[in-house]
C-alpha cells in the first residue's frame, strides 16, 4: 500500500531543496519519489457535502475532462488550504 501527498511550498527554491533532499530516500522501508506536480491542473474544491463519496465527486468533475487522480480529503472547516 502506497500513499501520496501533495505539498505546496511558498517558493520555488524551497521546493527544489525538498526534491533534492528527499527524492530517492527511504522512509519506513519505502523509497520516496518527490517531483514537481503540475499545479495548474491541481484543483482544491471546498465546502462539499460531508456525505459526498469519491465516486460522486469524480462524476461531478469528469465531464470537464479526463481525470488523472481524484480523491476527497476531510477538513474540519470544509475549506481548501490553511490560509
**pLDDT tier for residue 8 given thresholds of 50, 70 and 90:** low
pLDDT at 57 over 70: yes
CA distance 63 to 58: 9
* Same-domain status, 21 and 50: no
The phi and psi torsions of 79 (rounded to 5 degrees) equal -100, 155
Q: Per the structure, how many domains does the chain have?
A: 2
* Same-domain status, 9 and 23: yes
> In which region does residue 68 sit, left (phi positive, over 0), alpha (psi from -120 to 50) or beta (all else)?
alpha
* Same-domain status, 33 and 48: no
Average pLDDT over residues 6-18: 78
* Same-domain status, 29 and 51: no
The chain-wide mean pLDDT, for the chain, equals: 77
- Residue with the bigger pLDDT between 58 and 2: it is 58
Average pLDDT over residues 42-65: 83
In which domain, by residue range, is 63 found? 43-83
* Same-domain status, 34 and 49: no
In whole angstroms, how far apart are CA 36 and each of 52, 71, 73? Answer: 29, 19, 21
Amino acid at each position: 500500500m502506497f500513499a501520496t501527498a501533495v505539498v505546496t511550498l511558498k517558493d520555488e527554491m524551497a521546493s527544489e531543496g525538498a526534491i533534492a533532499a528527499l527524492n530517492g530516500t527511504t522512509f519506513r522501508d519505502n523509497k520516496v519519489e518527490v517531483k514537481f506536480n503540475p499545479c495548474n491542473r491541481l484543483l482544491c474544491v471546498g465546502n462539499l457535502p460531508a456525505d459526498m463519496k469519491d465516486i460522486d465527486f469524480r462524476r461531478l468533475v469528469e465531464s470537464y475532462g479526463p481525470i488523472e487522480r481524484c480523491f476527497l480529503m476531510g477538513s474540519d472547516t470544509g475549506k481548501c488550504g490553511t490560509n
